[in-house]
């Protein structure tokens, strides 16, 4: 009898654990994924005093210049990048393209067209890798190779970096500092046609608008909605420009981040 009660108790515990596991298993796994050892993701220390090391990280600016930045990630893509460039030409605006180095190496003609039409080419990564999944040395190589692919295609040396998914930690900031790159994130995202249509309502002076001209998000419906939204912003008197132009405007205060 005692053995039967013990068996029933173990069965009840297993059942309860299974029920909890349906909701808690993913959380427990995520806890182990994100609670790393204190030395797992640290930046290398500066070699000595006397050399300034630092990089800005900006989500949006104060907007005093009346400008907003338009940015595109994940290209160049031969299907979508020409479509985006045609749209920007119709609107007569400039944008920043945060490119994948591997795609830039494969399609240098698209990088050349971006530059020829007055746009800025900046760094995303060599491939769309979460920076948290690679060590400092590999991340450095990824950014450096992407810079080389950009300049080999005829673009100026990049001034900006946007890590995939917007992931930024101490090693990433050290890479940005050593590569002399500012990190530009975003304040408005347009991952769908409905979100793109809403850009006219949620973006304003100082905003950094994130769009995509590669990988899985682009669609004709999205770009049609985005073009209408950008036209509405222009009609409100807002100037649409590149990330570097927004950051370099004298009246903007990047320290006032929200």
212 is catalytic: yes
Upstream peptide bond of 18 is cis (omega within 30 degrees of 0): no
73 is catalytic: yes
d(CA 13, CA 166): 41
Is 146 within 8 Å of 105 (Cβ atoms)? no
Considering 107, 119, 124, 212, which one is annotated as catalytic?
Answer: 212
- 77 burial via Cβ count (<10 Å: 0-12, 13-18, 19+): buried
180 Cβ contact partners less than 8 Å away, ≥ 6 residues apart:
159
Is 200 within 8 Å of 232 (Cβ atoms)? yes
Of the CA atoms within 13 Å of residue 25, those in its CB half-sphere come to 7
d(CA 93, CA 60): 19
Considering 73, 74, 77, 182, which one is annotated as catalytic?
Answer: 73
- Catalytic site positions: 73, 212
């Amino acid at each position: 009898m005692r053995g039967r009660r013990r068996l029933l108790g173990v069965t009840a515990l297993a059942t309860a654990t299974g029920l909890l596991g349906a909701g808690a298993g993913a959380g427990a796994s995520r806890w182990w994924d994100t609670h790393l050892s204190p030395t797992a993701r640290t930046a290398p220390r500066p070699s000595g005093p006397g050399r300034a090391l630092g990089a800005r990280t900006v989500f949006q600016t104060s907007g005093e210049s009346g400008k907003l930045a338009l940015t595109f990630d994940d290209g160049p893509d031969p299907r979508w990048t020409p479509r985006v460039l045609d749209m920007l030409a119709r609107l007569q605006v400039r944008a920043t393209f945060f490119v994948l180095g591997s795609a830039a190496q494969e399609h240098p003609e698209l990088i050349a067209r971006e530059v020829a039409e007055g746009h800025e080419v900046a760094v995303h990564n060599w491939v769309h890798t979460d920076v948290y999944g690679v060590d400092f040395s590999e991340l450095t190589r990824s950014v450096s190779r992407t810079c080389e692919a950009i300049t080999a295609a005829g673009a100026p040396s990049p001034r900006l970096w946007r890590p995939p998914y917007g992931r930024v930690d101490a090693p990433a900031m050290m890479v940005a500092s050593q590569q002399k790159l500012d990190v530009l994130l975003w304040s408005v995202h347009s991952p769908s046609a409905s979100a793109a249509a809403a850009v006219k309502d949620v973006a304003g002076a100082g905003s950094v608008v994130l769009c995509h001209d590669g990988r899985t998000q682009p669609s004709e419906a999205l770009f049609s909605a985005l073009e209408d939204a950008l036209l509405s912003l222009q009609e409100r008197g807002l100037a649409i420009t590149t990330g570097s132009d927004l950051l370099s405007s004298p009246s903007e205060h990047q320290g006032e981040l929200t």
